[in-house]
Homo-oligomer: A and B are copies of this chain.
Amino acid sequence: MNTLAYGLLGLVARTPSSGYDLMLQLQPFWQAKHSQIYPLLAKLEQEGYLEFTRIHQTDRPDKKVYSITEKGQIALQVWLSEPAAEPVVRDELVLKTYCLGLADENAAATMFVERIQQCREHLDMYEHYIQEYQADAVDHPHPPDHPDHPAFGEYILLSWGARRMKEDIAWCEWVLELLQKRR
């Protein structure tokens, strides 16, 4: 049982889903390819943490919809009560920034301009989903920023993503300003 396995249990516990669906849901918060997810789901099913039903679809290929078992729920509870490991960040830009002095002036600036664009795309996505949740919340007795709202977890994560992107953009812009002093 690794972190990705628990992550899948968590997603499935909220909403039974297919492997393809889980891959898409997970994407913004934990990068994993389908080639890693499908075998893991099969293993979790064999070991009794998950079960699946094959859903026949006429318009699309059939899919396996996984749902969590009692054993899975217990494992999830235990994992949630343990302290979270420190995050791992692997960002090529960080390593390149370290030796910025060796880079061509234009290349250096381009790096940060490109990162700003990447961040803005992610930011737009996060903000789009935040608006969606806020619109959905009209039907619920609790607003989306209330811990009893079923989408509370997603909501605070989306706001985490948006905050991070804004902060990274601000940093890149600050670096670009400093780089112009060189001229």
Contacts and interface: CB of A to CB of B under 8 A. Distances in A.
A100 B13 contact: no
Interface string A95-107: 1111111111001
Q: Which interface class (under 10, 10 to 19, 20 to 34, 35 or more) fits A?
A: 35 or more
Contact of A147 (B111, B159, B182): B182
A115 B89 CA distance: 15
A166 to B, nearest CB: 9
B87 A153 contact: no
Contacts of A145: 178
Interface string A70-95: 00010011011101111111111111
Contact of A80 (B80, B81, B91, B107): B107
A62 interface: no
Contacts of A3: 90, 92, 95
A84 B76 contact: no
A55 interface: no
Interface of A: 3, 6-7, 10-11, 13-14, 29-31, 73, 76-77, 79-81, 83-104, 107-108, 110-111, 114-115, 118, 145-148, 150, 152-154, 156-157, 159-160, 163-164, 167, 170-171, 174-175, 178-179, 181-182
Given A10-B102, A87-B92, A159-B171, 8 more contacts: A13-B99, A14-B99, A30-B94, A30-B95, A31-B88, A80-B96, A83-B111, A145-B178
